[in-house]
Every structure is written in C-alpha cells, then in structure tokens.
Amino acid sequence: MLPMLQVGDVILSPDILTKYFCCDLDACGGACCVEGESGAPLTLEEVGELENVLEEVWTDLSASAQAVIDRQGVAYNDSEGDLVTSIVHGKDCVFTCYNKEGCCFCATEKAFREGRTHWSKPISCYLYPIREKRLSNGLTGINYHRWSVCHAAVRKGKELNLRLYQFLKDPLIRRFGKEWYDELLATVDVLKAEGWIE
C-alpha cells in the first residue's frame, strides 16, 4: 500500500494519485454547492474577493440568497468555528444560481468565465474534492474527500482514465504553484517506475 507522500511542504493522501475523478455536472446537477451542513471554507482574503464581486453577481442570486447576504454578509463562522460562505435554508451556498434545467452553478465562476470579473471562486471550491488542512508542524495536508453525490464523477474519471491530481491540475497549480505541481509529476514518475502506482 502506498504511504503518505510529501511534495514540498505538502503532505498528500495517496488517493490523490491513485483515485479516478472527473466532475460530471450533467449527472450531479452541482450538488456540492447545495448539499452539506455549512458553506465552502474561506480565507479572509477570499471574503474580500467575494465582497468585491458581489455587485456584479447580485442579479444572478436568488432573492433568498440576497436576503441572507443583507442580513449576515457573504460569510459566517460555522459550528466548528471555520469561516465559510453564507448558506440559504441550511444548505445552498448563497452564490449558487441555476440554469433552465435546474443545474446548479457558481455565480462568481460564471461571471469570471463571462469576463465580468477577474476572480473565479474560493480555492476550497476549485480544489474539491480535495480538502486542505494546516498541520501543527507547519505543513499543509491534502486529502480526497469522498462524498456520495460524486459517484458519477468517479465513474467518469475511470472512463477517461483521469486521476484526481490530473483532473485538478489547474487548481493545484493555483494553490501551490507550477514548480510544486512539476515536482508532484516527477514524484508520480518515480512511483510508477518503482511499481507503486499504475
């Protein structure tokens, strides 16, 4: 069994290199933005970014989401004390919006893709299903978060022969840098050569 790995100052679960994954929005309908007990994890800087794009995405948000934001802002501290996006009716992120087919999208990412803003979405959303945690020794740990709503993504990843670290190349580079990602690929090559992974 492949042990935990370290690339730079990041400790990785081996699942990130071995498990298949590719989001299938048609199948899940964007459930990760709707399901769950709290909003998406945020940094203080990201709260500022959300506030900066708020005017641009305001009309894409539901009236209920607008009311929540008017009352408590774009973020709050959840029951574990973590800073997260505000949510509507105990589930939907306030930045969700829906198309005619009922599929959920991120309003901030939609605005970014349409060229209306220069910032897409929180890194915790961009990296999902990888979850990040600061460790007591100063290192960062990243793990694969398994969730039943992502079964279709696992199936699609297998069909495309796409592993988590490949599917999440861009967000991993955004979070840790191109040099770090290149080091990760070099580590993968060594592990393949030694027979640890296919």
pLDDT interval class at 29 (50, 70, 90): low
DSSP track, 88-140:
ETTTEETTEEE-TT--EEEHHHHHHHTTS-S----HHHHHTTEEEEE-TTS-E
pLDDT in tens, 150-163: 888 999 999 999 99
What's the structural domain count of the chain? Answer: 2
For residue 9, tell me if it sits in a domain: yes
Q: Of the residues 127, 153, 171, which one is the last residue of a structural domain?
A: 127
What is the separation, in whole angstroms, between the first and last Cα of the chain? 13
Q: What angle do CA 141, 7, 81 make, to 5 degrees?
A: 15
The range of the structural domain enclosing residue 109 comes to 38-127
Q: Of the residues 100, 127, 154, which one is the last residue of a structural domain?
A: 127
The verdict on 17 and 53 lying in the same domain is no
Name the pTM for this structure: 0.85
pLDDT in tens, 60-106: 999 999 999 999 999 999 888 889 999 998 888 999 988 887 778 89
Q: Of the residues 93, 110, 127, which one is the last residue of a structural domain?
A: 127
What does the alpha-carbon distance between residue 131 and residue 28 come to, in Å, rounded to a whole number? 19
